[in-house]
Amino acid sequence: MQNKTWGQLILRLIIGGILIYAAFSKIVHPQEFYLSVLEYHLVGDTLSKIVALWLPWIEVLVGVGVLGGIWFLPNLRLAQLLFAGFTIILIVTLFRGIHTDCGCFGTAGGRISWLHVLGDVILYFLTTLLVIWEQIVSNVQPAQPNADNQNNSGKE
Amino acid sequence: MALRKKSTLRAVPVFKMVLIIVFAGVLGVFRNFVLPGGIDFGTSGAQHATAQDTLSENLTLEQGYVLYQQGVQFLDARSHEKFQAARIPGAINIPAELTFQEKVERTDSLDISAKYILYCNDAECPLADELYEFLQIAGFQDIHIMVPGFDGWQKAGYPVEGESDAE
């Protein structure tokens, strides 16, 4: 943790903060998020419900992990997966001509648009920047058997 | 340093990622089934099937008028301006320009097990179909589209209200 810089801290605040904020309304109003998922017409009824009850908690855990530096690299990798997944789903849905509500922030977020795609792409690259940063830091510093380094070394 | 190089080759910590996902699932199940306001896994599939079954039950003007006389609620899928100008008496406007959330709020007070008749301008207008799809997703079980729409209704001389109802 001693190599954390202000830049890295700001990126962590942005990514973690957005993920936690995005999850909040979905957890409070799961029924409405389920309807939003269903409106994308990508998965069926039951799978939409599973996504609606599961995805927000992944966002919360990943957001907390990124913010707090807990299991930092695993959470960053999951954040990358989330943003990449959101980007692909939005692009596919836009090309299918479905202009449903985004559901990105639960009941807020407006109808899906290319701006949402751009937002997710930017978040993906910011997360990737953090991953690269973390790996460079891990490579440059001499090996130290402290807990944080072990967390981020893919020891498992 | 050699150890560090090796660690970057294993930079995707799959096990911890899986643990996070599994724990998220546990939290999600807890929230849904222990705390109030969760998603109902038991009934919605059946509701959708019922709604799908009624999809073929498009209504003629005459059928629509009979149901109107019985007090069935009409839902107007046209724009707010057209609705203000003229509408079937007592109809509720749920225009396509509303966001999904606004539609949820507007239909929040409606009984999902009651019968509803949807209409648009005419048979060519797709808005009633879009509204039908939304209501179906929202769990409404007994929804029908009056295909000839408001234009047909008005031409048939059935009652209308609104800014132009003096005619």
The ipTM estimated for the assembled molecules is 0.81
State the smallest CA–CA distance between residue A11 and chain B in angstroms: 20
pLDDT in tens, A4-15: 688 899 999 999
Q: What is the pLDDT of residues A40-57, one digit of tens each?
A: 888 887 898 899 999 999
86-105 in chain A: CB under 8 A from chain B: 100-101, 103
DSSP E strands: which ranges in B12-95?
73-76, 92-93
Q: Is A18 on the interface with B (CB under 8 A)?
A: no
pLDDT at B164: 61
Cβ–Cβ contact A49 with B under 8 A: yes
pTM of the predicted protein model:
0.59
Chain A interface includes B20 (CB < 8 A) = yes
pLDDT at B65: 83
Residue A74 has pLDDT above 90, yes or no: yes
Active site amino acids of B: 120
- Tens digit of pLDDT for each residue in A98-114? 777 788 886 666 778 89
Q: What are phi and psi of B8, to 5 degrees?
A: -70, -25
CA–CA separation, B40 and B44 (whole Å): 7
* Sheet of B115-119, strands arranged across: B92-93, B73-76, B115-119, B142-145
Quick check: B22 pLDDT over 50?
yes
Residue contact B31–A49, C-beta within 8 A: no
Contact B39 A56 (CB under 8 A): no
Please name the member of B20, B48, B137 whose beta carbon is closest to the beta carbon of A78.
B20
The verdict on a CB contact (< 8 Å) between B41 and A49 is yes
Q: Which chain B residues in 69-128 lie under 8 Å from chain A, judged by CB atoms?
A: 99-101, 104
Q: Which of A89, A77, A78, A70 is nearest to A54 (CA)?
A: A78
Which pLDDT tens digit goes with each residue over B38-85?
Answer: 787 764 443 443 333 444 467 888 788 878 888 899 999 999 889 999
Nearest by CB to residue A46, choosing from B13, B45, B137, is B45
Using pLDDT thresholds of 50, 70 and 90, give the confidence band for residue A67: very high
Cα(B28)–Cα(A51) distance, integer angstroms: 10
**Is the CB of B3 inside 8 Å of chain A's CB atoms?**
yes
Contact B27 A60 (CB under 8 A): yes
Average pLDDT over chain B, rounded to whole?
Answer: 80
With an 8 Å Cβ cutoff, are B7 and A138 in contact? yes
